[in-house]
């Protein structure tokens, strides 16, 4: 009930439309309650008394009632769908907003397909609970209550006989409802796994084909599909058991009515018309109970999805603006790490008591073996993660004391894996600053050595790039990403091995663009090829999460330490390759 109440909170902005829908639902359901009364009047007043005028009035009333019932049914269906669709859109938007606010640690721990499933499959599963099932619940509940009231009026003793079956009905509804909800959770989880496998296989199609792993992916998909099938069949088993169980209990009640009521008619204690009307209302009770149990089963299944959705909405945002956080003013670019310690997983430190300072406008290289913590430093500076201990400052200000937006607005990142969106070249560069003019975009592209190749594309800047920019080369993607960073015009720049995956010619063009980009900015350059940072103002050598060496290229070579060892290995490897 807590989950359902929480869902109903989303209806609050649309309560006036919902109220109109409920009025239409009640009036439409009223047509069902009118029919048994007609049966009583037909038998007791029309057929026995042979009253033609009363027959005509009853016939006209049936036509009028069902005409009005149709109008109200349309109102109920359209208005409930209107409310339901608006609520679903609100929930889906709120889930997406939450996903945008969650820190990188959430994305590290969850598969992309599973995350997508929260916004698509799980939210869609709520739609039935909010629209069709709610309509059925309101309609059938009104018919049930109205029928019981009419039965009490007709014969209270027979009504007591009927109500004796209710505890058994409620017991089975509760018993199977819990099982249906549990199996519904398994269905949503297995559906998320299917989405995850699908997303991985589609996004990695090139890798799958290059390793001839099509059948492996098919087997993986079929395994998750089978899990989903088992979960659905388990749910279907409970649903299929619930309905006939309730029907059997209801049949016992009807049998008692026929036996006891029939004896009363024989004794002359009640009329045949009243008994027929009472039986019709009893059937009216039977059908709503059956439909309500099925509806509650569907709602329980949907609430399993609601539990997953609200689980996301209730997640703690590990990296967020602190109370009283202020906007970071325009900075000169001084960066300080003071005794910083960090671990992705508790007890497994990646960065140990790290301290260093970078002056405004300096180009600082970050080098070291794989796993030394270079990329982690690049993630801590824009607060993708919070450090466990220590302080990171920009221009003397603790980055935890400023708003995330103002911090990240002044930090530009060019990663090794360039992410482009499925849109035009123009839109991908514009992403750096949404209010930029066409002239500014072209100037940024020229500075990034991208303008010439863009003009050779079929539609120039309006050329559509495929998913993640797959229809252009790696060097071209990287230069568009650099143009995007130039347009952003950040004071602090992070280059995370931006040229490591490029061929010699592409690397030359990209490096030229990067050199232009770094002019006048504080730059942290994570370098795989040490030759690219020989001219850096300063080089920080990382080893096992700590600062092993610090100095210029010449100074570090003279020390003949870790940096000199790494440089010599690359130098001789490159010499052998040439």
Does the pLDDT of residue 491 top 80, yes or no?
yes
Helix H segments across 42-131?
A: 52-101, 104-109, 112-117, 123-130
Q: Where are the domains of the chain?
A: 2-185+232-313
In this prediction, residues 152-173 reach a mean pLDDT of: 73
pLDDT of residue 227: 85
Does the pLDDT of residue 307 top 60, yes or no?
yes
Closest by Cα among 132, 236, 252 to 176: 236
Map tokens 């027959």 to a residue: 55
In this prediction, residues 240-267 reach a mean pLDDT of: 74
Burial code (b: 16+ CB inside 10 Å, e: under 16) for 203-233 equals eeeeebeeeeeeeebeeebeebeebbeebbe
> Which range among 33-47, 113-127, 400-414 has the greatest average pLDDT?
400-414
Does the pLDDT of residue 93 top 90, yes or no?
no
Cα separation values, 44 from 40, 146, 257, 278, 351, Å: 6, 22, 19, 13, 90
pLDDT of residue 176: 73
The domain 2-185+232-313 belongs to what CATH superfamily? ABC transporter type 1, transmembrane domain (1.20.1560.10)
Cβ distance 163 to 249 under 8 Å?
no
**pLDDT tens readout for residues 449-467:** 888 888 988 889 998 886 6
In this prediction, what percent of the chain has a pLDDT beyond 70?
85
pLDDT of residue 48: 65
Mean of the per-residue pLDDT values of the chain = 80
- With cut-offs at 50, 70 and 90, classify the pLDDT of residue 392: very high
Q: 144 vs 392, which has greater pLDDT?
A: 392
Does the pLDDT of residue 212 top 70, yes or no?
no
Burial class (CB in 10 A: 0-12, 13-18, 19+), 306: buried
pLDDT of residue 342: 92
Parallel, antiparallel or unpaired: strands 335-345 and 389-394: antiparallel
In this prediction, what percent of the chain has a pLDDT beyond 90?
9
**pLDDT tens readout for residues 21-53:** 888 888 887 777 777 767 666 666 666 667 677
* Token pair belonging to 262: 């029939």
Q: Name the least confident of 187-201, 202-216, 334-348.
A: 202-216
Does the pLDDT of residue 125 top 80, yes or no?
no
Does the pLDDT of residue 59 top 80, yes or no?
no
Quote the CA–CA distance of 96 and 474 in Å, as a whole number: 30
Quote the CA–CA distance of 291 and 137 in Å, as a whole number: 8
In this prediction, residues 199-221 reach a mean pLDDT of: 71
Does the pLDDT of residue 347 top 90, yes or no?
no
Q: 88 vs 43, which has greater pLDDT?
A: 88
Cα separation values, 227 from 183, 190, 224, 271, 302, Å: 12, 6, 5, 58, 19
Does the pLDDT of residue 477 top 90, yes or no?
no
pLDDT of residue 400: 93
- With cut-offs at 50, 70 and 90, classify the pLDDT of residue 506: low
């Amino acid at each position: 009930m807590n989950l359902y109440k929480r869902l109903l909170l989303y209806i609050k902005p649309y309560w006036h439309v919902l109220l109109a829908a409920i009025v239409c639902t009640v009036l439409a359901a009223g047509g069902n309650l009118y029919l048994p009364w007609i049966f009583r009047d037909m038998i007791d007043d029309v057929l026995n008394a042979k009253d033609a005028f009363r027959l005509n009035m009853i016939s006209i009333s049936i036509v009028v009632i069902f005409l009005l019932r149709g109008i109200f049914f349309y109102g109920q269906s359209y208005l409930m769908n209107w409310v339901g669709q608006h609520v679903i859109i609100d929930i889906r938007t709120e889930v997406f907003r939450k996903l945008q606010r969650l820190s990188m640690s959430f994305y590290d721990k969850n598969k992309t397909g599973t995350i997508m499933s929260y916004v698509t499959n799980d939210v869609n599963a709520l739609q039935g609970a909010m629209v069709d099932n709610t309509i059925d619940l309101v309609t059938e509940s009104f018919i049930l209550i109205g029928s019981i009231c009419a039965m009490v009026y007709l014969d209270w003793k027979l009504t007591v006989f009927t109500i004796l079956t209710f505890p058994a009905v409620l017991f089975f509804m509760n018993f199977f409802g819990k099982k249906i909800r549990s199996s519904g959770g398994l269905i949503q989880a297995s559906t998320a796994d299917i989405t995850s496998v699908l997303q991985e296989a589609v996004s990695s199609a090139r890798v799958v084909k290059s390793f001839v792993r099509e059948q492996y992916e098919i087997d993986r998909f079929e395994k998750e599909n089978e899990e989903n099938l088992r979960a659905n069949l388990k749910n279907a088993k409970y649903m299929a058991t619930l309905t006939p169980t309730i029907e059997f209990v209801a049949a016992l009640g009807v049998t008692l009515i026929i036996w006891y009521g029939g004896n009363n008619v024989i004794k002359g204690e009640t009329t045949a018309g009243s008994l027929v009307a009472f039986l019709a209302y009893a059937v009216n009770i039977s059908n709503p109970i059956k439909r309500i149990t099925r509806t509650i089963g569907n709602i329980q299944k949907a609430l399993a999805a609601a539990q997953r959705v609200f689980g996301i909405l209730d997640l703690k945002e590990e990296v967020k603006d602190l109370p009283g956080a202020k906007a970071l003013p325009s900075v000169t670019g001084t960066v300080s790490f003071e005794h910083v310690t960090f671990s992705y997983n508790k007890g497994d430190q990646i960065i140990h008591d790290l301290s260093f300072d970078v002056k405004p406008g300096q180009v600082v290289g970050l080098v070291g073996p794989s796993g030394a913590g270079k990329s982690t430093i690049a993630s801590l500076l824009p607060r993708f993660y919070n450090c466990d201990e220590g302080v990171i400052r920009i221009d003397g200000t603790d980055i935890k004391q400023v708003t995330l937006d103002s911090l990240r607005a002044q930090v530009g990142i060019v990663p090794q894996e360039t992410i482009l969106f499925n849109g035009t070249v123009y839109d991908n560069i514009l992403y750096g600053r949404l209010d930029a003019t066409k002239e500014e975009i072209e100037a940024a592209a020229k500075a990034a050595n991208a303008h010439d190749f863009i003009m050779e594309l079929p539609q120039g800047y309006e050329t559509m790039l495929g998913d993640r920019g797959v229809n252009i080369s790696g060097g071209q993607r990287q230069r568009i990403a650099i143009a995007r960073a130039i347009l952003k015009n950040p004071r602090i720049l992070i280059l995370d091995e931006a040229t490591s995956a490029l061929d010699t010619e592409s690397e030359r063009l990209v490096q030229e663009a990067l050199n232009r980009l770094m002019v006048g900015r504080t730059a942290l350059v994570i370098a795989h090829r040490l030759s690219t940072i020989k001219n850096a103002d300063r080089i920080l050598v990382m080893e096992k999460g700590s600062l092993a060496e610090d100095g210029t290229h010449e100074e570090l070579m003279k020390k003949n330490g870790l940096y000199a060892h790494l440089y010599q290995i690359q130098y001789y490897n490159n010499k052998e390759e040439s």
